[in-house]
Structure 1
Amino acid sequence: MSVEDHYFDGLFAGNDDPWAFRERWYEQRKRAITLAALPRAHYRTVFEPGCANGELSAALAERCDRLVCSDTADKAVRLARTRLSLFDHVEVRQGRLPGDWPQEQFDLIVLSEIGYYLDRDDLTAVIHHAHRTLTASGQLLACHWRPSIEGCPLNARQVHDLIHEQLKLPRLVLHQEADFILELWSREPRSVAALEGLR
């Protein structure tokens, strides 16, 4: 993680939901779009780094057999563990990217609002880790706020361009609006309709 830990620790100091994931319609709607963009109804294994307080994680937990989440901030990890405590198949780890990447294989990796906290070298390392740990039909979803964020090495467009350039996988989903961009790449290039024999 190129942005220092004290930045994230400061965000969570005295605030259990610094981005208002639970309260803001913008966040609720984006979460719904994220879940709707997933081409599969169910995944075996999912990895979500930068899980914050676990709001998106709770929704992802409903769509998989195993979910591994991580965050660099101690308080975020504690909040996520509390939020996800009802799910026996979810594990929340503390770790800092790109170094603390799990060794397991994943059917889905979700990079939500995390890429621009990494500089180009660290993001490249994350992309390489993702490529290495995706299963034979694995998918990667990335979703990022489009306006620039002060203190971040990259913006959303740079993050998504680098993922597309480095991951070298077919892109199945592209959703872009004024506030955010969402893309999904997959080792299985066929669309949902094609997989269901409709094309």
Structure 2
Amino acid sequence: MTSSHSYFDALYADCDDPWGFRNRWYERRKRLLTLAMLPRERYHHAFEPGCANGELSAQLAMRCDRLLATDLNETAVRLARERLADQPHVRVERRSVPQEWPADQFDLIVLSELAYYLDDADLGRLTECITRALSVDGTLLACHWRREFDEAAQTAARVHALLDTECGLTRLARYEDADVLLDVWTRDSRSVAQHEGLA
């Protein structure tokens, strides 16, 4: 990861919600968009690296039988564990990805505001990890801020283009505006309506 641990340590030293996940409409709206874009109503085993304080994790938990949420920052992990304490099917661990990618198979992987912190080598390793870990009917969702900021090693557009070309998946849906880019890829290219026999 290009950004040092100290960057995130400094953010959490000042505030337990440094990006305003709880209070900002932008963040609440982004979570609603993320959840609405998932093609399946329910997933068996999901992975959310870079879970921060667990606000998105709490929403994903309602759509999954099991969820592994991770973050490299100790404070974020503690906050996420507190936020998800009433969800016994959710595990929160301290991990740095892609170096400490779990050995499990997942039918949902959510990369929210994470991959643009990675340098080229780690971004390449990330695509390899996703390819190995995603189940035969799996879904990958990526969501990234489109505007430039100093700590980003990549643009959202470059991250999503690389995921699109390197993971061997079919892009099922895209949403973009001036601020955010969301993409959903899957190993099963059928639409939601096709899954339900409507098309």
Shorter-chain TM band: over 0.9
* Match status 1:101 vs 2:101: yes
What is aligned with 1:148?
148
TM-aligned CA deviation for residue 124 of structure 1: 1.2
What is aligned with 1:61?
61
Distance 1:119 1:170 in 2: 25
**Is the partner of 1:13 in helix, strand or coil?**
helix
TM-aligned CA deviation for residue 14 of structure 1: 2.7
The answer to whether the Cα contact below 8 Å between 1:77 and 1:92 also exists between their aligned partners in 2 is yes
Distance 2:24 2:125 in 1: 32
Structure 1 segments of 4+ aligned residues over 3 angstroms from their partners? none
What is aligned with 2:31?
31
Distance 2:168 2:107 in 1: 17
What is aligned with 1:111?
111
Matched-pair identity in % = 52
What is aligned with 1:167?
167
Note the residue ranges of structure 1 that are not aligned, 5 or more in a row: none
TM-aligned CA deviation for residue 184 of structure 1: 0.6
- Relative to the length of structure 1, the TM-score reads 0.98
* Match status 1:42 vs 2:46: no
What is aligned with 2:193?
193
Distance 1:187 1:73 in 2: 31
- Relative to the length of structure 2, the TM-score reads 0.98
Distance 2:96 2:44 in 1: 24
The answer to whether the Cα contact below 8 Å between 2:45 and 2:108 also exists between their aligned partners in 1 is yes
**Is the partner of 1:19 in helix, strand or coil?**
coil
State the superposition RMSD in angstroms.
Answer: 0.7
Distance 2:151 2:62 in 1: 34
Note the residue ranges of structure 2 that are not aligned, 5 or more in a row: none
